Amino acid sequence: AGAVARFEARVAAEDKIEPNDWMPAAYRRTLVRQISQHAHSEIIGMQPEGNWITRAPSLRRKAALLAKVQDEGGHGLYLYAAAETLGVSREELYAQLLSGKAKYSSIFNYPTLTWADIGAIGWLVDGAAIMNQIPLCRTSYGPYARAMIRVCKEESFHQRQGYEIMLTLSRGTAEQKAMAQDALDRWWWPSLMMFGPPDGESQHSDQSMRWKIKRFTNDDLRQQFVDATVPQGHHLGLTFPDPELRFDAEGGHWRFGAIDWAEFKAVLAGNGPCNRQRLKTRRNAHESGAWVREAALAHAAKRRARAAQPARAAE
Amino acid sequence: AGAVARFEARVAAEDKIEPNDWMPAAYRRTLVRQISQHAHSEIIGMQPEGNWITRAPSLRRKAALLAKVQDEGGHGLYLYAAAETLGVSREELYAQLLSGKAKYSSIFNYPTLTWADIGAIGWLVDGAAIMNQIPLCRTSYGPYARAMIRVCKEESFHQRQGYEIMLTLSRGTAEQKAMAQDALDRWWWPSLMMFGPPDGESQHSDQSMRWKIKRFTNDDLRQQFVDATVPQGHHLGLTFPDPELRFDAEGGHWRFGAIDWAEFKAVLAGNGPCNRQRLKTRRNAHESGAWVREAALAHAAKRRARAAQPARAAE
Amino acid sequence: MTSILVAQDAPPLLLHVLRLADTALVLGHRLSEWTGRAPMLEEELALANAALDYIGQARSLYDYAARLDGRGRTEDDLAYLRDTPDWRCWLIAELPNGDFAHSVLRQFLVAAALQPYWRALAASRDATLAAIAAKAEKEAAYHLRHAGEWVIRLGDGTDESHRRMTEALEDLWPYTGEMFEADAVEAALVAEGVAPDPLALRPAWEAMVARVLAEATLDLPAPCAWMQSGGRRGVHTEHLGHLLAVMQHLPRSYPGAVW
Amino acid sequence: MTSILVAQDAPPLLLHVLRLADTALVLGHRLSEWTGRAPMLEEELALANAALDYIGQARSLYDYAARLDGRGRTEDDLAYLRDTPDWRCWLIAELPNGDFAHSVLRQFLVAAALQPYWRALAASRDATLAAIAAKAEKEAAYHLRHAGEWVIRLGDGTDESHRRMTEALEDLWPYTGEMFEADAVEAALVAEGVAPDPLALRPAWEAMVARVLAEATLDLPAPCAWMQSGGRRGVHTEHLGHLLAVMQHLPRSYPGAVW
């Protein structure tokens, strides 16, 4: 109990908890779950955007998109590394993803249907992710906080890129404008769902707030996102697919309509448009690459054996 | 020896030899080789044209091309059936194709690079095939002759279709004309090679002529093809890629330049642009379909067993 | 501006004909992709045959749609110059072929819905649609029989084929619900006696599927499972765009050319 | 008329820059197709890195080609508005990825040719080309090292990986001869000191390949085997057309739009 009190005091004092420090089992568990889910989301998140790499409409966009998807893979890698400091192996975590046991952000179970979706993902999905992640740069667990600082820097670059795509489209031909509007129509509500269930229904919130893993509630972050994003959409000349959206001058907030939580739950339960496809793609890659990983191990073993040989001979 | 004499007399009298008739072993061997090579050519020949089914530029062309490729498969099937009347199984013949032991027409080892190639194949390749095959409608072996009658009828329809594609392109935009010319440039010489090596070097010719398996020499057929085709090409407004091509008014023939037999031999030896690809495609299809064929057999066996069950119970 | 948009507020009949056409063409295109790749030659030809049936249906339907549209467009304009969001096919049609199990199962599940649909549509008050449907019904009946036999053969074949059919069923089942949805567009046509109510045809489909899956020793999935939907609203899978990129390449590259 | 043709009788320098650009872009495109499909995450990122290098090289080269062309075309016009016969890449670049063995072996065989080529080209009398080459040489050196390590690892790994590498070597070898061909276009540039003679660089390539294959316990194919060729004349494999259909779909569908 003394350890718990000391731990909580450190957290309260905004001290960073480091891998070798004592921490409550539940803290460790929560972090492993959250960090690995975040890592999985980066990895699965490569797919919807990856879907447009071969069809990007200019060389500049092609290079930028490929670099962005590559960044996401990189984020996945250092988030796995952060999780590993808590005593789980990346293989274990990755196996949980492939088996469907671990979750990842539901937003990546929606399909990318036009080039405008690449803009919308950058603008809205990365925008929402940043809103979630900026507070995590100050989260109580050191390795996680440091990983998030790097992630956030790159994400905000991606977000600007996405907005710039939307801007180009909304200043383009009638067809391009229609494409941009259609993308906003499809991505707006799922982006709002990215902040998770309403505060009343959120399972892990209270303790996470106390442990400073989390610093704002889901609803707070969602409102921040809406407030930041709606003026950007208006600047694009686009209409949000929400007839109830209006500015509340008194509160200083954009008020929005009711979220379809039935859809949120269905997608979370595995019934989104692309859940099966996303996991299958990664499973197929993993299975059809098994011979490569085995060969790499076999070769490394041969090398070690050869390196040991002359040494023994010299004995 | 009496049997041989009687056989040869029947052939000389233009009698058809039928499956149950006596025939020299060499006659049988020659026919099996020739018919199965022809069947293989139809099957492999589906690939270069099949390559454009998904990219055919209009629904009418798409349907016509798919139907044509399907016809080729059908030709393959009844040619295999004709070969089977000579006491070999289709499985055996097909295995020879997949192993690379059996030959097929080298023309199908060239790639189809633009839509005009579909026109050029119909016009030139089917045109050359018909030239080769019309005499085969009167070949001495009955089942082969009857199969060829059906094949020839469909091929001449394909040939007209191909010419019509070339005509449309050569009456089209500058780019379409260039496409048609480029296709003629690439397919002309390989089409001439379809008639096989010059008479002096042809291995099987003499005996095949005597047995009325063959009725014209390679060079004769080649000349007939050139004479028929050059005016068609001129009607299209295209130029043949042969600076020596000229009309010999005295002989009444179009004289053409020297054929590059080194290329012919290289392609025949397996080094054409697509030899490996063509066989791999068929091998992959065969291998990845093994489970289907096994399942069909297993199911049929189950059915038979079930059908036998009540009969036995009733005994 | 080369993209030919048929607005969502076009007349219901035009929209509906286009939906039927899009599903037929996309299915035909997918089946045609089997050319050169089938497990046996006879099946390769059978798949090509079915592809030709679907492409033929699509042509009749696009031709009718173009006439209903009345702005001088052709069947090819409708097939080759519309981008993904303007397509109205069922999602199940656009899924990649997968292995032979996936392909014959899709062929079966779709034909089991289309055959009764065409039969009912053959009684449409719209004479053109009725004539197209009468012909398509015969084709669908053949597809249904042929594919159904394969479902049984592979379901009740080897362990491997049973496993593959089970996986195919899991993959495809969520896309079957969409075949029985009717939105306002369709409701209007149902009210006028121009089109049958797809929901009314569902029991026949369920009975057929239950019978064949039982004979194939495959478990019938829960019919009320979560279903995918969106094709009728232009919200597709990620696969359609790739299919269209290939299919439309030539007409898109040489605008105005005649082939 | 949207197809941008660079006639075969264009200035040799323009043609040559375009050839280098086409090979770089097509290779970059192929590598980018691995995204989401690689055997391990680290390699997926490494492949994407190489893809980015190639696409970057292509952009510099197209940009230079567009300036040499002098008719107001952009890098994107050259990449997105030319049809198959106008492309000038090596055939080896356009072959489908195949399995990981095929992809790393291609990466190795090509980098082993490109690295000495870029190094020699960095001494070109053409300052722009020399600058592009100097940068590309560093990238190629890294690709060569990375892919070479994989060739060794997989060749001298398991029986399965050895078998796959052997098959990849048989498949790709016939496409290596083309990398050392020099036609009249190139000869003209060699004479002027603008480009190196690829044939002179062949011994270095052969030595590198022999060394790595030996360490990989793979048999060196006969160097004088029959070779495929045609990319420099616009006579390609059947694969390039499919790649371009996908790559060019958007700019072809929306002519004149800015993205």
**Model confidence over A273-306: pLDDT tens digits?**
999 999 999 999 999 999 999 999 999 999 999 9
Task: Please state whether the predicted TM-score (pTM) of the whole model is above 0.90.
Answer: yes
**Please, which residues have CB within 8 angstroms of residue D210's CB and are 6 or more apart in sequence?**
D220
Mean pLDDT confidence for C119-124: 98
Contacts of C240 in chain A (CB under 8 A): 113
Distance CA B72, CA B78 (A): 10
Mean pLDDT confidence for C213-222: 96
Our CA angle for A74, A80, A85, nearest 5°, is 135
Q: Do D244 and C245 touch (CB under 8 A)?
A: no
Distance in Å, alpha carbon of A66 to nearest chain C alpha carbon: 18
- Can you tell me the ipTM of this complex? 0.95
Q: Does D5 touch chain C (CB under 8 A)?
A: no
Which residue of C83, C228, C235 is in closest CB contact with A186? C235
Residue A15 has what DSSP assignment?
P
Q: Do A114 and C228 touch (CB under 8 A)?
A: no
DSSP secondary structure of C169-234: HHHHGGGSGGGG---HHHHHHHHTTSS--HHHHHHHHHHHHHHHHHHTT-PPPPTTS-----GGGT
Q: Which two tokens mark D209?
A: 């390949």
Q: Does A70 touch chain D (CB under 8 A)?
A: yes
DSSP alpha helix (H) spans, chain C = 12-32, 41-69, 75-80, 91-94, 100-121, 127-155, 159-172, 184-191, 198-215, 239-247, 249-253
β-bridge pairing B253-255 and B246-248: antiparallel
Nearest CA in chain D to A63: D52
Contacts of D36 in chain A (CB under 8 A): 46-47, 50, 281-282, 285
Which residue of D85, D171, D174 is in closest CB contact with B113? D85
Distance CA B103, CA B279 (A): 11
Question: pLDDT of B225-252, one tens digit each?
Answer: 999 999 999 999 999 999 999 999 999 9
Which residue of C35, C79, C249 is in closest CB contact with B50? C35
Question: pLDDT of B77-90, one tens digit each?
Answer: 999 999 999 999 99
Upper half-sphere CA count for residue C78 (Cβ side, 13 Å): 34
CA B300 to chain centre: 34
- 3+ Cβ–Cβ pairs closer than 8 Å linking C and A: yes
**Please, which residues have CB within 8 angstroms of residue B245's CB and are 6 or more apart in sequence?**
B230, B254, B255, B256, B257
DSSP secondary structure of D96-158: ---SHHHHHHHHHHHHHHHHHHHHHHTT-SSHHHHHHHHHHHHHHHHHHHHHHHHHHHHHTS-
Nearest CA in chain D to B262: D226
Kindly indicate the confidence band of residue B204, based on its pLDDT and cuts at 50, 70 and 90. Answer: low
Which residue of B76, B168, B296 is in closest CB contact with C41? B76
Q: In this complex, which chains have at least 3 CB pairs below 8 Å with chain C?
A: A, B, D
Question: pLDDT of A13-45, one tens digit each?
Answer: 999 999 999 999 999 999 999 999 999 999 999
Contacts of C174 in chain A (CB under 8 A): 271, 276
Residue-level pLDDT at C73:
93
Q: Does D228 touch chain B (CB under 8 A)?
A: yes
Q: In this complex, which chains have at least 3 CB pairs below 8 Å with chain B?
A: C, D
Q: Does D246 touch chain B (CB under 8 A)?
A: no
Distance in Å, alpha carbon of B262 to nearest chain D alpha carbon: 12
pLDDT at B313 over 80: no
Which residue of C51, C58, C156 is in closest CB contact with B66? C51
Nearest CA in chain C to D246: C245
Percent of chain A as helix, strand, coil, to the nearest 5: 75, 5, 25
pLDDT tens string, chain D, 259 residues long: the values are: 345 566 667 899 999 999 999 999 999 999 999 999 999 999 999 999 999 999 999 999 999 999 999 999 999 999 999 999 999 999 999 999 999 999 999 999 999 999 999 999 999 999 999 999 999 999 999 999 999 999 999 999 999 999 999 999 999 999 999 999 999 999 999 999 999 999 999 999 999 999 999 999 999 998 767 899 999 999 999 999 999 999 999 999 999 999 9
β-bridge pairing A253-255 and B246-248: unpaired
Contacts of A110 in chain C (CB under 8 A): none
Q: Does C44 touch chain D (CB under 8 A)?
A: no
Portion 67-106 of D in contact with C at CB < 8 A? 83
| Residue count (chain D) | 259
Q: Do B57 and C59 touch (CB under 8 A)?
A: no
| Residue count (chain B) | 315
pLDDT at A161 over 90: yes
Residue-level pLDDT at A311:
61
Mean pLDDT confidence for B120-139: 95
Q: Does B262 touch chain D (CB under 8 A)?
A: no
Kindly indicate the confidence band of residue B122, based on its pLDDT and cuts at 50, 70 and 90. Answer: very high
Residue-level pLDDT at C172:
97
In order of start, what are the domains of chain C with their CATH numbers? Answer: 12-253 (1.20.1260.10)
